[in-house]
């Protein structure tokens, strides 16, 4: 277990949260699948609560607002920033769109949501008391975040302009995929890849992958808890991974890291 107490470097995927149609059902699902515990809800923040592993935040959950009926339930990935207003200007200058202007979340953080030129939504998180992911390298914590988009060239240019990403291409067999490193970073912070050309109208989306001890056993827990398997478990260079869906059909990945991670 690796604990973190300082704000994440700008551009790093630092948080993920989900709005649920039935919060109790969703909490039970992720408790069964990932072993999460939960902090006390914050009424002043609409009932938002932290999911915890070892008492430390790993994700956020909140009930859906009454006026958001029909809005898709998806995991929202947030990228760290130490100057959210400046980054917001860069987003617009690079062809992005503001979906939710930056707001203060008590003393916890300033956050907002934008859309990149390829159509993927992403949040930005300027840490206050809440740095985002506070524990890594343990089952239930976030293992990786990436963007899959039909136009990965435009996406790479956009995020390089906003956050200064540097890329390393690691795609194979015609698959376009690159890891990105933030300025002054010494290891990849996430990835950007191209969607399958055969998958027509595939949306651009940021996704989160959570660590588990055993992917195949976790897939069974997903099914037992009312979720669904979206992509069969497979082995790759960095471990074993599957894509699953929760109670609101929100997709996420689960991964058992290999020795190379």
100-156 pLDDT, tens digit per residue, is 999 998 889 999 999 999 999 999 999 999 999 999 999 999 999 999 999 999 999
Shared-domain flag, residues 45 and 104: yes
Closest CA to 85 of 7, 14, 162: 162
Report phi then psi at 23, rounded to 5. Answer: -65, -40
Shared-domain flag, residues 107 and 154: no
Shared-domain flag, residues 72 and 119: yes
The confidence score (pLDDT) of residue 126 equals 98
Alpha carbon dihedral 163, 181, 238, 134, in 10-degree steps, equals -70
Q: Round to whole Å and give the CA distance between 16 and 32.
A: 19
What tokens does 197 get? Answer: 């050309």
The confidence score (pLDDT) of residue 64 equals 86
Shared-domain flag, residues 142 and 244: yes
What tokens does 175 get? Answer: 């698959």
What is the model's pTM? 0.95
Q: Round to whole Å and give the CA distance between 131 and 141.
A: 14
Shared-domain flag, residues 141 and 122: no
- The angle that helices 152-163 and 84-93 make with each other, rounded to 10 degrees, is 140
Shared-domain flag, residues 114 and 161: no
Among candidate residues 108, 127, 146, the one where a domain is terminated: 127
Range of the domain at 11: 2-127
Shared-domain flag, residues 122 and 14: yes
Half-sphere exposure of 225 (CA within 13 A, CB side): 26
The confidence score (pLDDT) of residue 234 equals 96
Q: Round to whole Å and give the CA distance between 75 and 142.
A: 12
Shared-domain flag, residues 106 and 21: yes
Strands 166-169 and 121-127: unpaired
Q: Round to whole Å and give the CA distance between 59 and 75.
A: 10
Q: Residue 132 falls within a domain, yes or no?
A: no
How many domains, in total, are found in the chain?
2
Shared-domain flag, residues 9 and 117: yes
Shared-domain flag, residues 155 and 241: yes
Q: Residue 61 falls within a domain, yes or no?
A: yes
Question: Which stretches in the chain have pLDDT values below 70?
Answer: 67-71, 198, 260-261
The confidence score (pLDDT) of residue 167 equals 98
CA distances for 45 relative to 61, 105, 151, angstroms? 11, 7, 35
The full 3-state SS of the chain, as one line of letters, equals: CEECCCCCCCCCEEEEEEEECCHHHHHHHHHHHHCCEECCCEHHHCCEEEEEECCEEEEEEEECCHHHCCCCCCCEEEEECCCHHHHHHHHHHCCCEEEEEEEEECCCEEEEEEECCCCCEEEEEEECCCCCCCEECCCCCEEEEEEEECCHHHHHHHHHHHHCCEEEECCCCCCCEEEEECCCCCCCCEEEEECCCCCCCCCCEEEEEEECCCHHHHHHHHHHCCCEEEEEEEEECCEEEEEEECCCCCEEEEEEECCCC
Shared-domain flag, residues 48 and 155: no
What tokens does 10 get? Answer: 């700008």
């Amino acid at each position: 277990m690796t604990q973190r107490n300082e704000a994440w470097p700008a551009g790093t995927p630092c948080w993920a949260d989900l709005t649920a149609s039935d919060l109790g059902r969703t909490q039970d699902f992720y408790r069964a699948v990932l072993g999460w515990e939960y902090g006390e809800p914050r009424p002043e923040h609409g009932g938002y609560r932290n999911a915890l592993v070892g008492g430390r935040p790993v994700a956020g959950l909140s009930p859906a607002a009454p006026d958001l009926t029909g809005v898709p339930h998806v995991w929202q990935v947030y990228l760290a920033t130490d100057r959210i207003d400046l980054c917001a200007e860069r987003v617009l200058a690079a062809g992005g769109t503001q979906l939710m202007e930056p707001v203060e979340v008590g003393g916890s953080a300033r956050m907002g949501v934008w859309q990149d030129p390829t159509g993927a939504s992403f949040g930005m998180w300027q840490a206050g008391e809440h740095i985002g992911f506070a524990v890594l390298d343990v089952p239930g914590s976030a293992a990786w975040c990436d963007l899959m988009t039909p136009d990965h060239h435009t996406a790479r240019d956009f995020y390089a302009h906003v956050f200064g990403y540097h890329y390393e291409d690691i795609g194979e067999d015609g698959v376009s995929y690159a890891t990105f490193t933030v300025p002054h970073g010494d290891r990849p912070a996430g990835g950007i890849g191209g969607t399958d050309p055969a998958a027509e109208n595939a949306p651009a989306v940021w996704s989160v992958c959570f660590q588990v001890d055993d992917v195949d056993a976790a897939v069974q827990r997903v099914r037992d808890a009312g979720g669904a398997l979206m992509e069969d478990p497979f082995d790759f260079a960095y471990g074993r991974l599957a894509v699953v869906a929760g109670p609101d059909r929100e997709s996420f990945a689960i991964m058992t890291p290999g020795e190379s991670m």
